[in-house]
Structure 1
């Protein structure tokens, strides 16, 4: 079949993100013998993409359209709006005006609540969760004249985690705008963070991509985008299975050292491990702290203390690795006393940068949903398409907002509200974080 796969994402907070899931499905369909075109409206903007989409349909004559929904909103209570989801539905509606064939929705955002998203969008079919096996089954049924019932949502565990078929045109855009190219090395998460949907989407058991396939992706990025930074998109890069160690040693052995970043947990991370991260090119760690005190870390289901997180930050900084250590206030176990303690703790991490969030976005599949239901936070008609935030009993959102504003007002390194310095953040990445970091290190060397 001739198939178009389109992203539906116009989100630029905190950065525009390459639609990796779309490219994974494109590769699977291409390998199965289908003719595929990838389309990203972000390249053209809200006003111009309809004309480009119409041109693609006119010239390519697709038989099937797949639309990938990455997020349902920005997960920031201070920027929360239903407009984000309305924009997603508007993309689907725009495609309906152009394309008269069947439309399939998928992606991580769609999979949060596929039934609700299907009802709001009016698409023909949905693929919930991993898409590799499900999309092949659906396309086969359509090609053979045996379509599922209208509105069917298909869910199948992938037999194999596929790599991405990167679109050069799309990758060129994101490299130019962010200097970030994503790579996935595994799926699943064995941790039990109460707010997280990774286990419900990918499972609790780690499933690993072959190291040689990951290294091929890294080689592609290094050859074609030498000024880029690889972004490992795994739920946690330094996983307990130590798959990451094999990848990093492979990078060292095959001359594939290049700037990279990813989600790092302080849990069981030794000085030797950090040396390996640094040697292979880790330039900035997204440290999964998320809580600001021992009490709130425990409430979030974390397996480390704040002091352990702080020690990890210090060891990373000693090796000239930048650190982001974000925190959410208002979660389980939060009190006004822990808010004050947490503000002090987060400020003590300087020069580590932290994005500070008020409240925790509730999503189906996260364990926190059950707590919220028991506490009466969730109404009977709520679904994931409407942003809803959890605050611990006794924590009033507006008072918390004012405390965070005051607590971080004069901080250079703690950013609150999260979107308050987004323009600076995007400008930094458009220039190139790795390039800027190298320039800074050179200036420091010259001053010595």
Structure 2
């Protein structure tokens, strides 16, 4: 069959993200014998016209829509991305009556809510590279698919979901030919990195997290040799800036060490980074191995440096681990992005001050601290239960598609904003969600690319903020 796969994500802040899932699924469908074309709307100036033109040109038998994000998880400036989905579906339906299949991370989080927003679609839940080709096979033979694992749909007003079975999982690291499916020059001009996954799933149980729903609560590991082969292949093709996009790179630690060891034995020429690391399994041996493997940037997701908040978020580590991680980072050269999230269960003015004091004392000038305020409430998470118990949420789960946020009732939002603003005014390498979503960022990325700077650009945050302040822009 002819398949038109549309990557619907157009959010390019803080940087545009290459749609790894859409490309992997496109490659899997092609390997199953179908003719596939990917329409990436990231840089489209007229998405409606581009969709119409491709529908007319390809005459597809199936249209698949990859839906990455529901919203931007920014409590101060919320942007709801899913509200553009009905217009895309309507555009397709006005031209053709072929089946429309939805997939992507957003469907893994809230499949029923999204399917009710766009009726008469089929959703792929779970590993799309396994489920999607099986669904196409059923559709091509006009066979019933109601028993197929990993799909969801609405039938006579009732939501149906067949849980995905992990049988058939491949340990080979997927390495789609991004140059074939995407406009790589546009992504590179915006300082985008090439995404790669070394595992699927997450073993942690943070109260707000949706990874268990999207990928599962246990880790399914990719073979280190195939990971190295994928990285070498990307670098050889000129795609040298590569980001590992696992839920947590160093969990399990043995897997991360095996990957680094394998990478250190080849001349791959890649510049590697990973922005999701946990301070619990974090030591000098790991960072030394990462340095030898070719890492040029890393991120540690702390959320807080205070035990009451870490316990409230069920992060699985303590403030002692946080301070130990800072001491380890100080002994190594890899730039580090520290990620904080204020307002979780247990947050008080005292815990806010404790975290800000940690950031001020321990984050090096060449590193950066990202601050966000408020936690997006997703249905089915422990945070939803906490919010309801505390009387902060009364909406039914079916109405949580539009973003709703949790903020500890013990913290005044305006006071918290003032404290963060004061900290940012003193520390040029501190940055918040407002700065990460600033409309000037794409221009900064293009200028940086033209000057020959390489990702991660955030390591230049202090310099960029100082220059902008001299120009009268306090970002």
Per the TM alignment, residue 240 of structure 1 is displaced from its structure 2 partner at its CA by 1.9
Say if 2:435 is the partner of 1:419.
yes
The superposition leaves residues 45-88 of structure 1 with CA deviations (integer Å, 9 ceiling, x where unpaired) of 3xx23333223222222100111111101111111133x22123
Residues 411 and 67 of structure 1: is their aligned pair in 2 closer, same or farther, counting only changes over 3 Å?
same
Q: Residue 383 of structure 2 aligns with which residue?
A: 368
Q: Which moved more, 1:182-191 or 1:416-425?
A: 416-425
Q: Residue 445 of structure 1 aligns with which residue?
A: none
The superposition leaves residues 256-304 of structure 1 with CA deviations (integer Å, 9 ceiling, x where unpaired) of 2521111221212221111001111111111111113222122222233
1:6-405 to 2 correspondences below 5 Å: 6-45=6-45, 48-82=46-80, 84-148=81-145, 151=154, 153-158=161-166, 159-161=168-170, 163-169=174-180, 170=182, 172=184, 173-226=186-239, 228-240=240-252, 242-262=254-274, 263-348=276-361, 349-351=363-365, 352-382=367-397, 383-405=399-421
The superposition leaves residues 196-250 of structure 1 with CA deviations (integer Å, 9 ceiling, x where unpaired) of 1112221221101222322222122101225x42111110111225222222222
Per the TM alignment, residue 37 of structure 1 is displaced from its structure 2 partner at its CA by 1.0
Q: Which moved more, 1:13-22 or 1:428-437?
A: 428-437
The superposition leaves residues 411-437 of structure 1 with CA deviations (integer Å, 9 ceiling, x where unpaired) of 212213443674575535852653788
Per the TM alignment, residue 166 of structure 1 is displaced from its structure 2 partner at its CA by 2.8
SS at match of 1:39: strand
Distance in 1, Cα, partners of 2:455 & 2:118: 42
Per the TM alignment, residue 109 of structure 1 is displaced from its structure 2 partner at its CA by 1.1
Residues 425 and 323 of structure 1: is their aligned pair in 2 closer, same or farther, counting only changes over 3 Å?
farther
Distance in 2, Cα, partners of 1:12 & 1:313: 31
Residues 229 and 419 of structure 1: is their aligned pair in 2 closer, same or farther, counting only changes over 3 Å?
same
Distance in 2, Cα, partners of 1:433 & 1:307: 36
Q: Residue 472 of structure 2 aligns with which residue?
A: none
Per the TM alignment, residue 16 of structure 1 is displaced from its structure 2 partner at its CA by 0.8
8 Å contact kept, 2:310–2:318: yes
Residues 314 and 87 of structure 1: is their aligned pair in 2 closer, same or farther, counting only changes over 3 Å?
farther
Q: Residue 434 of structure 1 aligns with which residue?
A: 454
8 Å contact kept, 1:111–1:128: yes
Residues 240 and 390 of structure 1: is their aligned pair in 2 closer, same or farther, counting only changes over 3 Å?
same
Distance in 2, Cα, partners of 1:253 & 1:191: 31
8 Å contact kept, 2:78–2:403: yes
8 Å contact kept, 1:5–1:67: yes
SS at match of 1:261: strand
Per the TM alignment, residue 33 of structure 1 is displaced from its structure 2 partner at its CA by 1.1
The superposition leaves residues 380-419 of structure 1 with CA deviations (integer Å, 9 ceiling, x where unpaired) of 3353321111112333333433332334333212213443
Per the TM alignment, residue 107 of structure 1 is displaced from its structure 2 partner at its CA by 0.7
Unaligned runs of 5+ in 2: 147-152, 155-159, 461-475
Distance in 1, Cα, partners of 2:94 & 2:42: 19
The superposition leaves residues 339-394 of structure 1 with CA deviations (integer Å, 9 ceiling, x where unpaired) of 22222222222423111111111113432222122223222335332111111233
8 Å contact kept, 1:7–1:19: yes
Distance in 2, Cα, partners of 1:435 & 1:333: 35
The superposition leaves residues 159-196 of structure 1 with CA deviations (integer Å, 9 ceiling, x where unpaired) of 22461423315151323322400001111111122221
Q: Which moved more, 1:278-287 or 1:339-348?
A: 339-348
| RMSD after superposition | 2.6
The superposition leaves residues 83-117 of structure 1 with CA deviations (integer Å, 9 ceiling, x where unpaired) of x2212333333333344311111111122111110
Distance in 2, Cα, partners of 1:201 & 1:211: 23
SS at match of 1:289: strand
Distance in 2, Cα, partners of 1:108 & 1:166: 21
8 Å contact kept, 2:371–2:433: yes
Q: Which moved more, 1:197-206 or 1:419-428?
A: 419-428
SS at match of 1:284: strand
Distance in 2, Cα, partners of 1:93 & 1:343: 48
Distance in 1, Cα, partners of 2:199 & 2:99: 31
Per the TM alignment, residue 129 of structure 1 is displaced from its structure 2 partner at its CA by 2.7
8 Å contact kept, 1:293–1:345: no
Report the TM-score, using the length of structure 2 for normalisation.
0.84
Moved over 6 A (4+): none
Distance in 2, Cα, partners of 1:36 & 1:175: 24
Unaligned runs of 5+ in 1: 441-448
